[in-house]
A and B are shown apart, each in its own frame.
Chain A
Amino acid sequence: MTFILVIEQILNGLQFGIMLFLMAAGLTLIFGVMGLINLAHGSLYMVGAFAAAAVAGLTGSFGLSLIAALAASALAGVIVETVVIRRLYNKDHLDQVLATFALILIFSEGTRWVFGSFPLFLEIPEYLSGPVSLPGGIQYPLYRLALIFAGLLVAAGLMLLIAKTRIGIQIRAGENDREMIAALGVDINKLYTLIFALGAALAGLAGALVGAIQSVQMGMGEPVLILAFVVIVIGGIGSIKGALIGSILVGLTDTLGSVFLPQLFGLFMDTAAATNIGSSLASMAIYILMGVVLIWRPTGLFGARG
């Protein structure tokens, strides 16, 4: 166990957390402002990845593929919001879960219909590939550093948007009192569509960025979706700052747990058993974290509502 390995794993955890944030930010806004549980958020992540892979395959440009991912997922978000989601705001959570679960199935089979059943190819661009040397002799993939940087940039932009702009004021007001801001003359339908599209675009961006180092395939969004729900519960529903802190916490816990727990158990039992118990415990680590946070602060770290 070297110092370099520890630093490298912290960077890995950070990068994983930042990507989770892109998913969680949209989810927490939609949940916080509209009171909607959107299970189909993972499908928008998948839409982004597939759009990026398709455009990258046609043009070979990574920049264009990211724009395509943003555009396609935002568009999918707008369509889904106006056609389906809009009818669900006044329904209870069970109806929302049912309807958005149906959307997952529709998106999955729709994607298969268009792109086939086999995973697609999406590659890191030449100028971002390969490892770079960091101070202290750490070799770290450049692309992952770029992901951390891009994610932090998006986080800063979102916080500015929420804190400083007119839209941001409306979003915060919508979170606090939906009827009141409608009474004040804000077009609530337009605001909801906008927020939904914004959340969708962030999910699509995450899908495209992560798709380049993982695999672009059907159902890729659902595992991330579950983690994103954990994040927003930890961070407090509706809070962008909570989503950021929550996702970094989850990212670090998950990565460091899976690396160091087996080694910790290895100190006092044989390797096979330590690997087994350590990995099992590591899989539980983030849920244990969620439990602890909820006992300490039942509304999440930055949650306002009870």
Chain B
Amino acid sequence: MNKQIQALTAVMLAATAFGFGTVQAETKVGMITTLSGGGAGLGIDVRDGFMLAIKQSGRDDVEVVIEDDQRKPDIAVQLADKMIQSEKVDVLTGIIWSNLAMAVIPSTTAQGKFYLSPNAGPSALAGKGCHPNYFNVAWQNDNLHEAAGAYANSAGYKNSFILAPNYPAGKDALTGYKRFFKGELAGELYTKLGQNDYAAEIAQIRASGADSVFFFLPAGMGIAFLKQYKDSGVDIPVVGPAFSFDQGILQAVGDAALGVVNTSQWNKDIDNATNKAFVESFQAEYDRLPSLYASQGFDTANLLLSAIDKADVKDADAFRAALKSADFASTRGEFKFGNNHHPVQTIYAREVVKEGDVYTNKLLSVALENHADAYAVECGM
């Protein structure tokens, strides 16, 4: 390397270290999320929640670079490389889907960058694959399904028919439900990912003699299933995770979702000051009700801001400790990380209701209190 440049760099480093200069060290955040195509609603909610928190903080030393992964793992990987190598970001965040997360997160943390997940929580990164620089602010994938199993027990269900798409998160879902559900299984089905017609599955549910149905069908799949389920005249009660009942898709499901119990770590009526302010300001800013994804984006940004207040992102150890302490006001109330940097949190059962013209959820009961994920014991941290 050129000697002069070396010397110059040394001077600049010294200047930064002793706090010379007027410009404060900036924190650069790269957000890779799904903003176009099917499933864009989720990424847009995460982005809007995140940016709302940044805006409310009033800070100008945090720069956020946002890119669209189009829900494609190869594009997510390219974007991550670009952000790390040419944009020089310090922290990455934003990915919605577990398959994209698996493609990006391990290489990001291996390059010494921080990753804060606002949504995806694949089991592979919670157990043996946990990493000091990876923090999940949402949940481990199994969590909401485990809570659904726990709720089914408390509702007295003895015989469940369960179904999910045939991909890793679908398998995590059925595993999670079965881990907590104590009854029998009347049937277990894996459907095609992206399937939109559930007539064949509904006929099997009708013939199975089940007393309850558990399903994990995120986004459009859930809309199709619920509409067809209602129209089929089968009246076995349904439970599921919040992903088929979030604010973004409930309006498209309509009456077919009314009264359905679903599990979530967040709802707009969780009673704390942060949450109230969040729901109000989100509505004022974007003219729609926030979803759980928006709350996760908001919490992720506030966690990041709290860490920036305590430590410089360039000092990885201090910054990591600051993140780990999770010293911020979460929309969920109390928030803390387990040893594997995944949340230990309360998961609620909520019910779909109609408020005026708008379909939304209200809290029903606690499904699992201070729940940690099943993989934490395998993590060596």
Binding site for B on A (CB under 8 A): 2, 4-5, 8-9, 12-13, 15-16, 108-109, 112, 117-121, 123-124, 129-131, 139, 141, 143-144, 210, 212-220, 223, 255, 258-259, 262, 271-272, 275-276, 279-280, 283
* Cα distance A123–B233 in the bound complex, in angstroms: 15
- With beta carbons under 8 angstroms apart, the residue of A124, A144, A219, A272 that contacts B199 is A144
Q: Which residue of A lies closest to B166 (CB)?
A: A279
Residues of A within 8 A of B149 (CB): none
Q: Could you mark each residue 179-195 of chain B with 1 if its beta carbon is under 8 Å from any beta carbon of chain A, else 0?
A: 00000000011111010
Q: Is the CB of B37 within 8 A of A218?
A: yes
Residue pairs across A and B with Cβ atoms less than 8 A apart, 30 shown, are: A5-B203, A9-B200, A12-B203, A15-B199, A112-B36, A118-B248, A119-B41, A119-B220, A121-B251, A123-B227, A131-B231, A131-B233, A139-B206, A141-B228, A141-B231, A210-B196, A212-B227, A215-B227, A217-B219, A217-B223, A218-B38, A218-B40, A223-B194, A255-B200, A258-B191, A259-B200, A262-B189, A275-B189, A275-B190, A279-B192
Q: Least Cβ distance of B31 to chain A in Å? A: 16
**Bound Cα distance from A279 to B171, whole angstroms:** 13
Q: Which of B241-255 contact A (CB under 8 A)?
A: 248-249, 251-254
Q: Is B44 an interface residue (CB 8 A)?
A: yes
A-B contact count (CB 8 A): 125
- Provide the residues of chain B in CB contact with A258, threshold 8 Å: 191-192, 200
Inter-chain contact A215/B224, CB cutoff 8 Å: yes
How many Å lie between the Cα of A15 and that of B197 in the bound state? 10
A129 to B207, alpha carbons, bound, how many Å? 21
Q: Chain A contacts of B40 at CB under 8 A?
A: 112, 117, 218
- Min CB–CB distance A33 → chain B (angstroms): 30
Cα distance, A214 to B212, chains bound together (Å) = 22
CB distance from A10 to the nearest CB of B (A): 10
User: Shortest Cβ distance from A252 into chain B, in angstroms?
Assistant: 11
Partner of A279, one of B190, B194, B223, B248: B190
Q: How far is the CA of A120 from the CA of B252 in the complex (A)?
A: 5
B78 within 8 A of A: no
| Contact present for A118 and B220 (CB under 8 Å) | no
A220 to B253, CA, bound (A): 16
Q: Are A16 and B199 in contact (CB under 8 A)?
A: yes
B335 → chain A closest CB, angstroms: 28
- Chain B residues with CB under 8 Å of A12's CB are 197, 199-200, 203
State in angstroms the CA–CA spacing of A129 and B166 once bound together.
30
Inter-chain contact B223/A214, CB cutoff 8 Å: yes
Contact A118 B189 (CB under 8 A): no
Which residues of B, 282-331, contact A by the 8 Å Cβ criterion? Answer: none
CB-contact partner of B204 in A5, A108, A129, A210, under 8 A:
A5
Tell me which residues across on chain B come within 8 A of A219, comparing CB atoms.
37-38
Known A-B contacts A129-B231, A215-B196, A258-B192; A121 and B224 likewise in contact (beta carbons under 8 Å) = no
Contact A213 B220 (CB under 8 A): no
Instruction: Specify which chain A residues have a CB less than 8 angstroms from the CB of B365 in the assembled complex.
Output: none
Instruction: Quote the shortest CB–CB distance from B192 to chain A (angstroms).
Output: 6
Give the docked Cα–Cα distance between A63 and B9 (Å): 72
Give A13 to B203 CA distance when docked, in angstroms. Answer: 12
Chain A contacts for B252, CB-based, 8 A: 118-121, 215-217
Q: With a CB–CB cut-off of 8 A, which chain B residues contact A144?
A: 199
Closest Cβ neighbor of A143 among chain B residues: B231
- Residues of chain A lying within 8 A (CB to CB) of residue B191: 258, 279
Instruction: Determine if B200 and A119 form an interchain contact, defined as CB atoms under 8 angstroms apart.
Output: no
Of all chain B residues, the one with the shortest Cβ separation from A219 is B38
CA distance A109 to B249 in the complex (A): 19
Nearest-CB distance from A50 to chain B (Å)? 12
Q: Which one of B190, B200, B248 has the greatest number of beta carbons of chain A within 10 Å?
A: B200
Closest residue of chain B to A119 (Cβ to Cβ) is: B252
Choose from A13, A109, A121 the contact partner of B254 (Cβ within 8 Å).
A121
Considering the complex, give the chain A residue whose CB is closest to the CB of B193: A283
B166 touches A280 (CB 8 A): yes
Q: Is B16 part of the binding interface, using a Cβ–Cβ cutoff of 8 Å?
A: no
Q: Mark B30-54, 1 if CB is under 8 A from A, else 0.
A: 0000011110110010000000000
* A262 to B163 Cα, complex, angstroms: 14
User: B188 contacts A5, CB within 8 Å?
Assistant: no
Q: B41 contacts A117, CB within 8 Å?
A: yes
Q: Does B232 contact A (CB under 8 A)?
A: yes
Residues of A within 8 A of B189 (CB): 262, 275, 279
Q: Please encode chain B, from 194 to 226, with 1 for each CB lying within 8 Å of some chain A CB and 0 for all others.
A: 101101100110110000000000011101100
Q: How long is the Cα–Cα vector from A7 to B292 in the complex, in angstroms?
A: 41
